Amino acid sequence: EDKVVQSPLSLVVHEGDTVTLNCSYEVTNFRSLLWYKQEKKAPTFLFMLTSSGIEKKSGRLSSILDKKELFSILNITATQTGDSAVYLCAYRRGNTPLVFGKGTRLSVIA
Amino acid sequence: DGGITQSPKYLFRKEGQNVTLSCEQNLNHDAMYWYRQDPGQGLRLIYYSQIVNDFQKGDIAEGYSVSREKKESFPLTVTSAQKNPTAFYLCASSIGTSRSDTGELFFGEGSRLTVL
């Protein structure tokens, strides 16, 4: 059965720390892996990684996809309290809808 | 502005009652989805529709029903058969199933249903 596992499930860090969130997947017919940030209600899109685009960066956030070991990481450097959120990883298999992991709850304290 | 509108934001219902959650989008997207979110469970797919007048069950469709009579609208009915309906419900849309569809979902603000 296809699955996606995120770790850790929760994390507390201090402002300025660097954090790494993990997402491992086991899926046939892999098409893409997406990261979302959910602060209170609607998840917002961060990155999409595919076989042809395995590394993305936007400001303090970056993400890579390891196609061989079947995992992705989301890196946040110089964390701020505004980074506090649930980070969701999701994969897409073929043309089917996204399947989400359980998320990592990140709390950044001043 | 283009986007997805869900209503109501908060809803209380008594056991045994059906309730319908509204989802409207003006993004001209072909595909629409309903996900359920429980604490510590991530998002789980209830139903999705890739085209008007057609929809498919997701992983947890039991106790729910949908319709897709218009491209812009994808209402979800939580029936009395749903054993544990208290949850946060998210509606989403995507371009569709064409080769140009990246799969990226655009979400509404969600509806929080509480069964008393």
Give pLDDT tens digits for A45-84.
Answer: 999 998 777 889 999 999 999 988 889 999 999 999 999 9
Exposed, middle or buried by CB within 10 Å (0-12, 13-18, 19+), for B66?
buried
Residue A1: is its pLDDT beyond 70?
Answer: no
Confidence at residue A40, expressed as pLDDT on a 0 to 100 scale: 83
- CA gap A48, B101 in Å, rounded: 12
Residue A11: is its pLDDT beyond 70?
Answer: yes
Task: List all residues 6 or more positions away from A66 whose beta carbon is below 8 Å from its beta carbon.
Answer: A54, A72
Note whether B44 contacts A100, CB cutoff 8 Å.
yes
pLDDT band, very low/low/confident/very high, at B99 (cuts 50, 70, 90) = low
- Pairwise pLDDT comparison (B62 vs B99), residue with the higher score: B62
- CA gap B13, B89 in Å, rounded: 15
Confidence at residue B96, expressed as pLDDT on a 0 to 100 scale: 78
Note whether B42 contacts A101, CB cutoff 8 Å.
yes
Q: What is the mean pLDDT of chain B?
A: 92
Q: Mind listing the pLDDT tens digit for each residue in B4-41?
A: 999 999 999 988 899 999 999 999 999 999 999 998 88
Q: How far is CA B27 from CA A11, A29, A55, A90, B108, in A?
A: 35, 28, 28, 22, 12
Q: What is the mean pLDDT of chain A?
A: 92
Confidence at residue B81, expressed as pLDDT on a 0 to 100 scale: 85
DSSP 3-state of B94 = strand
CA distance A88 to chain B (A): 7
* A 33-92 near B (Cβ less than 8 A): 34, 41-45, 48, 88, 90, 92
Confidence at residue A102, expressed as pLDDT on a 0 to 100 scale: 94
Q: How far is CA B26 from CA A6, A16, A97, B69, B74, in A?
A: 33, 40, 20, 15, 12
pLDDT band, very low/low/confident/very high, at A94 (cuts 50, 70, 90) = confident
Q: CB–CB of B106/B34 below 8 Å?
A: no
